[in-house]
Amino acid sequence: MHNIGRFALKNAFQSSCVHRVYLSTMKEKKVLVNGININYLKVGSGPKAVLCLPGALGSIWTDFKPQIENLSKSKFTLVAWDPPGYGKSRPPNRDFSPDFFRRDAGLAAALMKELGLDRFSLLGWSDGGITALVLAGTEPQLVDKMVVVGANAYIVEEELKMYESIRDISKWSERMRAPMIALYGEKYFRSTWSQWVDAFVSLYEQNAGDICKDVLPLIRCPTLVVHGKEDAMVAAEHPHYLAANIRGARLHIFEHGKHNLHLKFSTEFNSLFEEFLDS
């Protein structure tokens, strides 16, 4: 038993070393897409391409680290990007024009084409989930499957009040604020976050809260809607609305999940994700 234990420990150590070496080879790159230098990361060599779409002011590593590190590299070719104005896809600064979700969806599709990936699945979180919905609805011929987490197709009044309550980043906890300041610097983060709140206020006031309800009936790919029961950012009605209005969509609720459930419960989420894409 002693020798078996040492053998298992040695194998675990070697596997850990290989994993660390593999992670050290992950290099972000930039490519010109529609006149914008887009920062992206491409890992894995599997037959199933997946585009990972981060949330508001999110980036490759802040929003998808457990997926990049732990999803199967033999099953998937993972591409994660920084949308324009986010992460390292700067300049330009972020532009919240009224059509910014459709613009991001078009750029994301163009990025995958530039990388030679003509058909792919989508993993979108929060705002990235909205971008995924738009992309799947406007370019259905490109998308194999889609998983959206903490996404919504419209805004309700209670959410607008919550956005306003977190506009001032000085009221955020240090744990939530520090990674963003490290990524952007306080001035850019403070300004861009406030502009994000303004963009959603505008959508609510000028578009009756509608973000992308019109694209849902156009989505043709198998879709998994994932939501955390304790999500304070996205009202509980949204996942049910998405599941009811996307043909054939499945719904999975994490009982103790919050908005970032794919990070906190990454092992369970990754298993769910792989199972869905394998089905």
Q: Is there a catalytic annotation at residue 24?
A: no
Closest-CA residue to 222 (of 135, 119, 140, 145)? 145
Torsional sign, CA 145, 227, 39, 27: negative
Q: Confirm whether 181 is domain-assigned.
A: no
Split at pLDDT 50, 70, 90, the class of 19 is very low
Q: Confirm whether 205 is domain-assigned.
A: no
Count of helix runs (H) and strand runs (E) in the chain: 10, 8
Split at pLDDT 50, 70, 90, the class of 18 is very low
Q: Confirm whether 8 is domain-assigned.
A: no
- Nearest-Å Rg of the Cα atoms of the chain is 19
What is the average pLDDT across 42-66?
Answer: 98
Q: Choose the catalytic residue: 227, 238, 259, 262.
A: 259
- Give the Cα separation of 276 and 279 in Å (integer): 5
Torsional sign, CA 57, 62, 64, 68: positive
Split at pLDDT 50, 70, 90, the class of 26 is confident
Q: Is there a catalytic annotation at residue 231?
A: yes
pLDDT at 24 over 90: no
Q: Confirm whether 87 is domain-assigned.
A: yes
Q: Is there a catalytic annotation at residue 259?
A: yes
pTM for the model stands at 0.91
Q: Confirm whether 147 is domain-assigned.
A: yes
Q: Choose the catalytic residue: 89, 126, 262, 266.
A: 126
Cα dist. 121→39, 44, 49, 83, 88 in Å? 19, 14, 6, 17, 23
List the CATH number of the domain containing 144. Answer: 3.40.50.1820
**Token pair of 226 as six digits:** 């994932």
Angle between helices 100-114 and 127-138 in degrees, nearest 10: 70
Q: Confirm whether 260 is domain-assigned.
A: yes
Q: Which domain holds residue 144?
A: 28-154+210-278
Split at pLDDT 50, 70, 90, the class of 25 is low
Q: Confirm whether 80 is domain-assigned.
A: yes
- Give the Cα separation of 78 and 125 in Å (integer): 15
What is the average pLDDT across 109-138?
Answer: 98
What is the average pLDDT across 182-202?
Answer: 98
Express each pLDDT in 60-119 by its tens digit. Answer: 999 999 999 999 999 999 999 999 999 999 999 999 999 999 999 999 999 999 999 999
pLDDT at 199 over 50: yes
Q: Choose the catalytic residue: 231, 238, 262, 266.
A: 231
Mean pLDDT, the chain, as a whole number? 93
Number of domains in the chain: 1
Q: Could you tell me where the DSSP H helices lie in 49-144?
A: 60-70, 100-114, 127-138
Express each pLDDT in 97-110 by its tens digit. Answer: 999 999 999 999 99
Give every CB contact of residue 160 below 8 A, 6+ residues apart in sequence. 200, 201, 204
Q: Confirm whether 225 is domain-assigned.
A: yes
